[in-house]
Amino acid sequence: MGSVVEEAEARTRTYHARISEALGREEVGPVVEEAEVYTGKVRDVYRPKWRSDIVVLFATGRQSAFDRQLAVVPFKGIVLNKISWWWFEMTRDLSPNHAIACPEPSVLIAERTTVFPVEFVVRGYMTGSTATSMWTHYKNGARTYCGIALPEGMVKNQKLDPVVVTPTTKDRARDEPISPADIIASGRMTQADWDFCAATALDIFRRGQEVAAARGLILVDTKYEFGKTTDGRILLVDELHTPDSSRYWLAASYEQRHAAGLEPENVDKEFLRLWYRDRCDPYEDATIPEAPADLVCELSRRYILLYELITGQKFDCWEPATTQHRASLVRQALDALPVTSSAARGARARVHSSSTTAARA
């Protein structure tokens, strides 16, 4: 009998035909009517006009890296959302989070917060291929990264001891590494909020590494985001330990491959980044090559593989909901939520009243 990873690898390779059939199929909204909509790199964010305390996140198959969109990956949005929901449930004892309900595989209903303009990148290994990665800075001669002093003689993919928090700015332009001291000095966060979030990020990362190790994986690094509610509570927000926000390696082959100077076997989007790195300058080139269909299918399979390994559940969402059915499921879930403020109750009454008037007209 093979390992858990080997069995999952063999099983997910049988999904190729279903993945191929879904190529080019991008799910679209609206997920919520009567809402303000913001389109992000991967998620569409809906802010219902009658619920100022709620956001609805719709995860799509859009694949981005190097600050640009590269492809649309079948089933990716579903995998991202289901993995995040699973991890949010698994870490509530470590930190409160914004996740309220998952009414449909690609949709998360969440508590609305004001997100800190900082991404908490936690690293367990010296690696990376992007302009902001620790390894890119180190190989270019930097020996201080995000305020952390680094010794001479480190090599790519080496384990870091201890695990470190290396924050980046969260800006509309390119994210940049920043030290905790500069975060405080710039007014992005208070010292107390930084201390709380950094400590929480380390706790959640350690839990993630423990769970990953039990499934034959290494959680290499990840990024967390935190937000503050109107009543001052700090919540873990956005996504959690997904293949978009995290790097995963196969544990069984890491030591041998690292000793041989080879790249670890990864189960995330890093191989797509490396494919583009080998063929162009994805940061500077005006046009870049289109990702081949077989590469996109393999990325989809890896997303599904990671979902099955982490959760221990078989992926079964091959037939996504129609736009109308998805919107209906979300509306039912929203209507079932308690209204927590008088402002939200008033807004809800106004929206429902206008909807009724429009229907009668």
Residue 347 tokens read as 């807004």
Burial track 147-182 (b if 16+ CB lie within 10 A, e otherwise): bbebeeeeebbeebeebbbbbbbbeeeebebbebee
* pLDDT at 224 exceeding the cut of 50: yes
Q: Could you tell me the residue ranges of all domains in the chain?
A: 4-360
Phi, psi of 230 (to 5 degrees): -65, -25
- CA 204 – CA 181 distance, rounded (Å): 23
- CA 120 – CA 197 distance, rounded (Å): 8
Average pLDDT, integer, range 9-21: 97
* pLDDT at 341 exceeding the cut of 50: no
Average pLDDT, integer, range 234-238: 99
The closest alpha carbon to 80, from 241, 255, 235, 228, belongs to 241
Considering only the top CATH level, what class is 4-360? alpha beta
More confident residue, 169 or 269: 169
* pLDDT at 299 exceeding the cut of 90: yes
pTM for this predicted structure: 0.90
For the chain, the residue count is 361
Q: Which amino acid is at 193?
A: D
* pLDDT at 315 exceeding the cut of 50: yes
Element (H, E) at 247: strand 246-250
**Digit-coded pLDDT (tens) for 49-82:** 999 999 999 999 999 888 788 899 999 999 999 9
Quote the percentage of the chain above a pLDDT of 70.
93
